[in-house]
């Protein structure tokens, strides 16, 4: 009679997997991105900003209007007035910039410092540049609204750097608990072995130390 009331194997498996699916898709926690490596994203993560957030210099050099440099060469240098940071760049002017700095208003290009000679309040430009040369344009890497991490995606160090660049401090990840159960009357938990006497008792009874649970625990930890 007892056996007749048991669930069939496939029915039992369906119930277990249905419950697991419910748990998988409802349990999450919000953690600092520093701790998110190798975790699984609970939701799509969209970029809240463009990246870069503004047009920025890709080189150390001088921000200027590209058209002012057309025809510049070693034998035919172009002289531009050097202005201080914060000024609007006008024709025949330039401003010193370093890699990563915002391109000043009015400028549309950067000439590398290797092709320039700086004097008192002027710069001698010895190479022409085209518009937006040596400039990383706003949104060049990521556009606002782009999905940067998909739901169910494993979070990598690249993702963490990207989240940081966009000012995202926390991320939702699946909060999954794993339980391990080893069955068998012959198994003895390692924690119950205190000394050699217990080993001798184990041998006489024909028991074995449960090694699968520690191994599975280590494998699960390795998987994150």
pLDDT of residue 24: 67
Distance between CA 65 and CA 85 in Å, rounded?
A: 15
Going by C-alpha positions, the residue among 149, 202, 163, 160 that lies closest to residue 43 is 149
Give the angle 52-123-74 at the CA atoms, nearest 5°.
Answer: 100
Query: How high is the pLDDT of residue 1?
Result: 47
> What domains, with CATH codes, occur in the chain?
27-50+140-177 (3.90.105.10), 56-136 (2.170.190.11), 187-222 (no CATH)
pLDDT for res 34: 96
What distances in angstroms separate CA 160 from CA 35, 46, 54, 144, 155, one per listed residue?
A: 9, 14, 21, 17, 7
Residue 14: CA count within 13 A, CB half-sphere: 5
Q: With 0.75 as the threshold, say if the pTM is over it.
A: no
In residues, how long is the chain? 224
DSSP for residue 37: T
User: What local confidence, expressed as pLDDT, does residue 197 receive?
Assistant: 79
pLDDT digits (tens, 9 = 90+) for 88-107: 999 999 999 999 999 999 99
Which pLDDT belongs to residue 122? 96
The whole-angstrom separation of Cα 57 and Cα 134 is 6
Please identify every stretch of the chain with a pLDDT value under 70, giving residue numbers as ranges: 1-4, 24, 224
């Amino acid at each position: 009679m007892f056996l007749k009331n048991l669930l069939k194997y496939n029915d039992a498996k369906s119930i277990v997997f249905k419950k697991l699916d419910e748990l998988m898709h409802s349990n999450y926690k919000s953690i600092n991105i520093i701790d998110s490596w190798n975790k699984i994203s609970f939701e799509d993560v969209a970029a809240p900003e463009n990246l870069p957030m503004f047009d920025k210099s890709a080189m150390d050099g001088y921000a200027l209007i590209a058209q002012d440099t057309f025809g510049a060469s070693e034998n035919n240098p172009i002289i531009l007035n050097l202005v201080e940071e914060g000024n609007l760049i006008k024709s025949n002017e330039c401003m010193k910039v370093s890699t990563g700095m915002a391109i000043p208003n009015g400028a549309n290009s950067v000439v590398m410092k290797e092709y320039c000679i700086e004097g008192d309040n002027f710069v001698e430009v010895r190479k022409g540049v085209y518009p937006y040369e040596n400039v990383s344009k706003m949104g060049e890497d990521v556009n606002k609204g782009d999905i940067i991490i998909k739901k169910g995606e494993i979070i990598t160090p690249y993702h963490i750097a990207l989240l940081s660049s966009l000012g995202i401090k926390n991320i939702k990840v699946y909060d999954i608990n794993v339980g391990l159960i080893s069955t068998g009357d012959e198994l003895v938990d390692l924690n119950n072995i205190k000394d050699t006497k217990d080993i001798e008792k184990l041998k006489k009874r024909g028991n074995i130390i449960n090694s699968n649970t520690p191994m599975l625990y280590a494998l699960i930890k390795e998987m994150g």
